[in-house]
Amino acid sequence: MTDAKSMDAKLMNIRALVFDVFGTCVDWRTGIAREVAAFAKTHGISGVDGAKFADAWRALYQPRMEEVRSGRRPWTILDVLHRESLDRVCADFGVKGVAAAALDEFNRAWHRLDPWPDVIEGLARLKTKYVIAPLSNGNVALLLNMAKRAGLPWDAILGAEVARAYKPLPESYLRTAAILGLAPAQVMLVAAHNDDLAAAAATDLKCGFVPRPAEYGPGQTKDLAPERAWDVVAADFLDLAGKMGC
């Protein structure tokens, strides 16, 4: 009873829940693999493993952002980084002769990812009591197109592009809270990734962990469990809604 009461008090000041998106809200690996298969079929390409292609594309995500985070490169949105990575992955997989416009369209595969089954209902419940918004490294158009297609009921589209800083830089969390007109401790980051939460906690945001053990496919070894006593740990977004009083 004491634990439950103290948790309630700690969570009572939270006004907004901001969400990691790739992995936490949407299943990027299955979605990209499906898009790779469709792309390969359209262009008569054979022998490309969709899941391996997805993993290779995603593997370039952090190194590309690090160019921007480090200041070696001026601010560049994720759609552009994804497009550059795509050229590299196509070369590595021997995909060639595809027109640039078709690759531009394929690049928007990241706008067409599907949420995990609990996400839409969980967000709709959380929205009744809290401001809900993505805090993703995806750019606004990506997150907006994804939300329109999938029915994600965000109150606002926030994230790296609005904050002009990629996670896990402290500015990405702090500017997002400031834009919301809230103190960091009034904002909770929900993520399936312990390192994202650790960076958010260092800036005084509250933290909610929801495991997504299938994000990286059957061989996943990382982020299967919370690595700290996060403010909330929930099995999925429905459990999270319940724990947040919705």
Of 215, 169, 183, the residue nearest 58 (C-alpha): 215
Among 18, 45, 123, 180, binds a second copy (CB under 8 A): 180
Alpha-carbon gap, residue 39 to 186, rounded angstroms: 43
Q: Does 179 bind a second copy (CB under 8 A)?
A: yes
Q: Does 166 bind a second copy (CB under 8 A)?
A: no
Q: Does 76 bind a second copy (CB under 8 A)?
A: no
Q: Residue 233 pairs with which residues in a beta bridge?
A: 209
Closer residue to a second copy in complex, CB, 136/194: 136
Of 112, 48, 114, 58, the residue nearest 82 (C-alpha): 58
Q: Does 124 bind a second copy (CB under 8 A)?
A: no
Closer residue to a second copy in complex, CB, 79/231: 79
List the structure tokens of 142.
């990506």
Give the DSSP per-residue string, 192-233.
Answer: S-HHHHHHHHHTT-EEEE---TTTT-TT--SSSS-SS--SEE
Which range, of 34-42, 81-89, 91-99, 173-181, touches a second copy by CB under 8 A? 173-181
Which range, of 45-53, 174-182, 216-224, 227-235, touches a second copy by CB under 8 A? 174-182
Output the CA–CA distances (angstroms, integers) from residue 87 to 65, 96, 109, 144, in the order listed.
Answer: 16, 9, 14, 24
Are 165 and 171 in contact by the 8 Å Cβ rule? The answer is yes
Query: According to CB under 8 A, which residues from 133 to 162 bind a second copy?
Result: 139-142, 144-145, 147-148, 154-158, 161-162
Q: Does 131 bind a second copy (CB under 8 A)?
A: yes
Residues that bind a second copy (CB under 8 A): 79, 131, 139-142, 144-145, 147-148, 154-158, 161-162, 179-182
